[in-house]
Amino acid sequence: MHQPGVFYGGGFVLLTFIRWLISIGLGIYGFFLFVKLARRGIEALDLYIYAKNREIRDHYESVHPKE
């Protein structure tokens, strides 16, 4: 009996499995990068809020008003 070829049978399944593994790996890596970006964004937002609150506090609740 004649073999149908490497891409028709087992070889195609192997390439599909490798492609699936690569896509899973890239998905995990992308999620990791997204989490890093989100954490940096949260820290930047916290610093911005702290600076704005401090600016407002210094301006309106100062013992020595600036006139």
- What is the biggest distance separating any 2 CA atoms in the chain, rounded to whole angstroms? 99
For 4-25, write each residue's pLDDT tens digit. Answer: 555 565 667 778 889 999 999 9
22 located within any domain: no
65 located within any domain: yes
For 17-52, write each residue's pLDDT tens digit. Answer: 899 999 999 999 999 999 999 999 999 999 999 999
The pTM is what? 0.62
Can you tell me which residue has the tokens 């210094």?
Answer: 58
Residue 34's domain comprises: 27-67
DSSP H helical segments within the chain, as ranges?
A: 10-60
21 located within any domain: no
2, with CB counted inside 10 A (0-12, 13-18, 19+), is exposed
11 located within any domain: no
